[in-house]
Amino acid sequence: MKNYQQLYLKEIKRLLEKIESEQGAMLEKAAGIMADQIKADKVIYVFGSGGHSNMMAEELFHRAGGLACFSPIFVDSVRIPHVPMGERCASLATYALDFYGVGKDDLLLLVNGYGINPITIETAIECKKRGVKVIAVTSTDYAKKLPKDFPGRHASGQNLHEMFEVVLQTNMEYGDALIKMDGVSSKVGSYSTFGNAFICNSLVLKCCELLVEDGIEPPVINSINVEGGMEKNKKLYKKYRPLIRWL
């Protein structure tokens, strides 16, 4: 009998190791942009512009071992549970960016597994208009294989991975799931969240490393469930609370 859990683990490791081995230079470039924002006392906006991709805004916000300067963009009709097809409402992008005050010279970490849906592409287009710097986290296999006239696409048919210079590829394969199981017509075992989270947290690590090299203490959040954690965090709250809507 096949050990599907072992096969799943093997596939996840393969894809994450591919990120580590092939994208080091791009990770460093993206982390350098993040470090520059921190040096300028600015926040880093995070938008996971799709149902499960939205978890990255939650993953990075106020996270033990993460950066205190992440400002999440939450759009209720895109989050899960959400209004069905909310991620296909392109017009939400402008309202979301306006609501959070994202503008010229700000930095947005735009995370979307598929990189094709209307709100993702509209956000990318709007960021270009506004002069917002963007680090894109997405996949290419899905975007390349999906027909240009697929109803879930933005009207322009654009792909997120082709819109910016700083793009980190999650290696998510078409359809997301990894394991072909006997007796099941569809593949089982989703991958996209692993790729998204590994890249986002790798950016945190590399950004901290670059700041330390420049003699700067990274604004790292402590768990409030360790001794002294809350006391350290209070200093960070004082600095970032006026800049982050949900802090």
- 108 touches 132 (CB < 8 A): yes
Residue 177 has pLDDT above 80, yes or no: yes
87 versus 122: the higher-pLDDT residue is 122
- Token representation of residue 76: 């209720």
Per-residue pLDDT at 77:
67
63: pLDDT strictly greater than 60: yes
How high is the mean pLDDT of the chain?
A: 92
Helix (H, G, I), strand (E, B) or coil at 102: coil
Q: How many CB atoms lie within 10 A of CB 80?
A: 10
Reported pTM: 0.93
Which bin fits 81, alpha (ψ -120 to 50), beta or left (φ > 0)? Answer: beta
Distance in angstroms between the alpha carbons of the first and the last residue of the chain: 49
Q: What is the DSSP letter of 61?
A: T
d(CA 226, CA 108): 31
Task: Label the pairing between strands 70-72 and 167-169.
Answer: unpaired
Helices (H), strands (E): how many in the chain?
8, 5
What architecture (CATH level 2) is domain 4-240? 3-Layer(aba) Sandwich (3.40)
> What is the average per-residue pLDDT within 97-123?
94
